[in-house]
Amino acid sequence: MCYSSIVQTLIDESSRIWDLRDKRTDGWPLANTPHTPVLICLTYLFVVKILGPKLIQNRPAYELRGVLMVYNAFQILFNGWMFYHICRLTWFNGYSFICQPVDYSDNADALQLIVLGYYVYILKLFDFLDTVFFVMRKKENQITFLHVYHHASIPLTVWIVFRFVPGGQSIFMPTFNSLVHFVMYFYYLMAAMGPQFQKYLWWKKYLTVFQMVQFILVGLHGLQLFFIECDFPTFYRWFFVVQSIMFFILFKRFHSRAYKTIAVDLKKFKKIA
């Protein structure tokens, strides 16, 4: 009896939460129900952790230089395009950094933001190719917990924002994220162009710092909502703050380990020399 009551309570609460979704986005491909992004992300984990390595283990690593150059160029163009249009509809159009409620009307700008939010969601699924290329190139050292967790969780995050709060305060995250990815894929494009461009990639460690700055700013942007009156759901205040803290810690740990190892290797090299 107690068990059935708990199950019924969970069902009722799930239905209540689902009723809060933005019904303007009902029926959109790959985003209509939460089952779809969850299944896609689980498939991603299966492919990059189990199926992919098994298929490639007895094959030579693929170079993929041409593919990577096209892929990275596309990411640069698309993220740059996203950054411009998000800014055009929001920060260049009277949006408030302090408090901006979600516009659930059929206003033209609000509807355009929904479309851009959908593009962000689809792009995060497209980003799975980052890991697929690592698998095909046998770059196991690049397939870290941080990399896989980040790629598997972000589509779910973006789906939640897209389906429940497509706009308002939540727009800060995709704005800054598209800028970060514009810079990041520019670095990857240069790296894919060959060894002769290695001397221009001295700023790699600052790329990780830029990503950490992103999480700090997104976290602070969400944190301010605890101290001001703003018509924005309380849950998402916690959502943005907690997620930002978690990703900052993971990226900071990665940065410390990666560049501490490089520093140690350089010291050893100098002693040998």
What does the pLDDT read at residue 261?
Answer: 55
What does the pLDDT read at residue 81?
Answer: 98
pLDDT digit string, tens, across residues 36-55: 999 999 999 999 999 999 99
When pLDDT is averaged across residues 249-266 and rounded to a whole number, the result is: 74
Contact 241, 223 (CB under 8 A): yes
Asked if pLDDT for residue 271 goes beyond 80, the answer is no
Residue 163 carries which side chain, given as an amino acid letter? Answer: R
Instruction: Please report the beta strands in the chain, taking only residues with DSSP state E, as ranges in sequence order.
Output: none
Binning pLDDT at 50, 70 and 90, where does residue 269 land? very low
pLDDT digit string, tens, across residues 9-35: 888 888 988 999 999 999 999 999 999
pLDDT digit string, tens, across residues 176-208: 999 999 999 999 999 999 888 888 899 988 999
When pLDDT is averaged across residues 124-140 and rounded to a whole number, the result is: 96
User: How far is it, in rounded angstroms, from Cα 26 to Cα 43?
Assistant: 23
What is the separation, in whole angstroms, between the first and last Cα of the chain? Answer: 75
- Phi, psi for 100 (deg, rounded to 5): -135, 100
Predicted TM-score of the model (pTM)? 0.90
User: How far is it, in rounded angstroms, from Cα 245 to Cα 242?
Assistant: 5
Residue 264 CA: distances (Å) to CA of 140, 204, 257: 22, 17, 11
What percent of the chain shows pLDDT beyond 70? Answer: 94
Tell me which DSSP letter residue 90 carries: T
User: How far is it, in rounded angstroms, from Cα 122 to Cα 83?
Assistant: 15
pLDDT digit string, tens, across residues 157-177: 999 999 999 999 999 999 999
Tell me which DSSP letter residue 28 carries: -
- Phi, psi for 113 (deg, rounded to 5): -65, -35
As annotated, the active-site residues are 150
What does the pLDDT read at residue 273?
Answer: 43
Contact 182, 80 (CB under 8 A): yes
Query: Taking the domains of the chain in order of start, what are their residue ranges?
Result: 24-272
Asked if pLDDT for residue 267 goes beyond 60, the answer is no
Asked if pLDDT for residue 5 goes beyond 60, the answer is yes
Asked if pLDDT for residue 213 goes beyond 80, the answer is yes
User: How far is it, in rounded angstroms, from Cα 235 to Cα 169?
Assistant: 13
Q: Mean pLDDT of all residues in the chain?
A: 91
What does the pLDDT read at residue 145?
Answer: 93
Place of tokens 């790699």: 204
When pLDDT is averaged across residues 118-134 and rounded to a whole number, the result is: 97
Binning pLDDT at 50, 70 and 90, where does residue 264 land? very low
Tell me which DSSP letter residue 94 carries: T
pLDDT digit string, tens, across residues 59-78: 999 999 999 999 999 999 99
When pLDDT is averaged across residues 259-272 and rounded to a whole number, the result is: 49
Distance of CA 72 to the CA centre of its chain: 16
DSSP per residue, 80-93: HHHHHHHHHHTGGG
